[in-house]
Structure 1
């Protein structure tokens, strides 16, 4: 089994970077709207805190997590938003402290997880490394929403490697959750790392269908933080091209994604 420590360390670093951003905000900025419809900065942090608590239950209290899943099944359309809404009403210091405490407890639980252990989740069970990768992906994606709301810039880092790998591994899920036939052949994915030098590669080198571009753009795509029309990703082959329309690295039903920017070619075409 792969050592989960590197991705757990990167999850901690990603969380701490976002913490430094929100810790410097005034109370009014926590109420700013983010690109996620109906969500403020407070909603974004509340959602991260809620999901960290869910992950902690999955790792440490399977019966407690089962109760949470039953609640989710009883209200599948509102369960996630309800948790974010409830947390967003907390006073900012309490919300921030709760997020910090929850992610610290999860960090410790993941590091103490037995080798080979798998934990229940809203999708397939996950190992400690997979759980940490999913939390890193969400922390990065929601951090982007917060940064956009407050006018901050977050530079991409090598931590994107984990999200890129998750995006590649969830290819079949993205097709299946939409009821589309899953491609039989593997794709080749070649992504330029944030340092501009390293190339991250996935899949057979001689694959007929391919995706090429930057790791940042690919991660923006699979977390549905940008429309493909606004990204410099190239698809070779019809199935690879279709994947760029539906890619989704997070669990749950198909996400609506973000609209193309008005100046993008596809947005101009839609307006005609």
Structure 2
């Protein structure tokens, strides 16, 4: 897809999440989410922090290098620190700041010279891939907010961005877990929300992953446990990948417990204070 098309989907994803939080009363921002220790305010603060980091990476790489050094010095804590600092703002100020940071990002990504990549906490990315990553993270943290509020979101075709990123980062997930990526490509076939099939990899690949796109994306962002999803693997390597899959660039997270979301109106709501999923700089 072209950058402007991806940015349009990013805007739509942000707008959908804004509908969930824009009208919350002040005390609603303190609602716990499935990420342990994180309220709704922390979720939005993290998105705002990462949007600003993305803008810096695209337009002020020297300043971003300083942020990268901080991350390397404190890989387990700098994301928490950034979220906590912004989450302490009054809800109205935080909401305004998030709208400003996400609003500044499209022009920043458009300003990157053709052919150049943007530094990041994981591998460098093209502006289009950076926008795709922002869709993934906004959707994932939006899921945490929706779970906290007991809201069932309707899946959209924007999930294809999340799934695509998860497939493209297969080898990165292996490396993060100190494993050697398989040389063989996998076949991934997912059923999109409207019944269409999304596919990646050779049709004749022996290692295969199939299932609903929503379930695959929930697994790849560690927002649901594998046992609670309809994602299936054929082949030992494909099965191993589903055990470590992550679409975000941070350290591997604890994920979610089996059955953690049972009992909610849609069968997917978390109880407060449950173990965190991946919350890295892109997740």
What TM-score, normalized by structure 1, do the two folds share? 0.93
CA contact (8 A) 1:8 1:111 kept: no
1:212 corresponding residue in structure 2? 210
Aligned residues: 262
Cα separation, partners in 2 of 1:260 and 1:105, compared to 1, 3 Å: same
Consecutive aligned runs of 4 or more in structure 1 exceeding 3 Å deviation: none
Alpha-carbon shift at residue 171 of structure 1 (Å): 1.0
Alignment of 1:73-222 (within 5 A): 73-196=72-195, 198-222=196-220
Alignment of 1:39-50 (within 5 A): 39-50=38-49
User: What secondary structure is seen at the aligned counterpart in 1 of 2:46?
Assistant: helix
Alpha-carbon shift at residue 124 of structure 1 (Å): 1.3
CA contact (8 A) 1:57 1:65 kept: yes
Alpha-carbon shift at residue 254 of structure 1 (Å): 1.7
User: What secondary structure is seen at the aligned counterpart in 1 of 2:64?
Assistant: helix
2:26 corresponding residue in structure 1? 27
Cα separation, partners in 2 of 1:42 and 1:262, compared to 1, 3 Å: closer
The reply on whether 1:237 has 2:229 as its aligned counterpart is: no
User: What secondary structure is seen at the aligned counterpart in 2 of 1:235?
Assistant: strand
The structure in which a higher percent of residues are helix is: 1
Q: 2:251 aligns with which of 235, 250, 253?
A: 253
User: What secondary structure is seen at the aligned counterpart in 1 of 2:89?
Assistant: coil
User: What secondary structure is seen at the aligned counterpart in 1 of 2:140?
Assistant: helix
Q: In 2, distance between residues paired with 1:59 and 1:39?
A: 28
Q: In 2, distance between residues paired with 1:253 and 1:76?
A: 8
Q: In 1, distance between residues paired with 2:72 and 2:243?
A: 28
Q: In 2, distance between residues paired with 1:32 and 1:230?
A: 25
User: What secondary structure is seen at the aligned counterpart in 2 of 1:213?
Assistant: strand
User: What secondary structure is seen at the aligned counterpart in 1 of 2:256?
Assistant: coil
Segments of structure 1 that go 5 or more residues without pairing to the other structure are: 265-272
Q: Which has the higher contact order (CA 8 A, sep 6+)?
A: 2
Q: In 1, distance between residues paired with 2:189 and 2:73?
A: 41
Alpha-carbon shift at residue 66 of structure 1 (Å): 0.8
Alpha-carbon shift at residue 114 of structure 1 (Å): 2.5
Q: In 1, distance between residues paired with 2:260 and 2:32?
A: 20
Q: In 1, distance between residues paired with 2:120 and 2:231?
A: 31
Could you give the per-residue CA deviations for residues 121-155 of structure 1, whole angstroms, max 9, x where no partner exists? 11111111010011110000000000111122211
2:276 corresponding residue in structure 1? none
Q: In 1, distance between residues paired with 2:51 and 2:239?
A: 34
Cα separation, partners in 2 of 1:208 and 1:39, compared to 1, 3 Å: same
Give me the CA root mean square deviation.
Answer: 1.3
CA contact (8 A) 2:59 2:111 kept: no
Q: In 2, distance between residues paired with 1:112 and 1:48?
A: 21
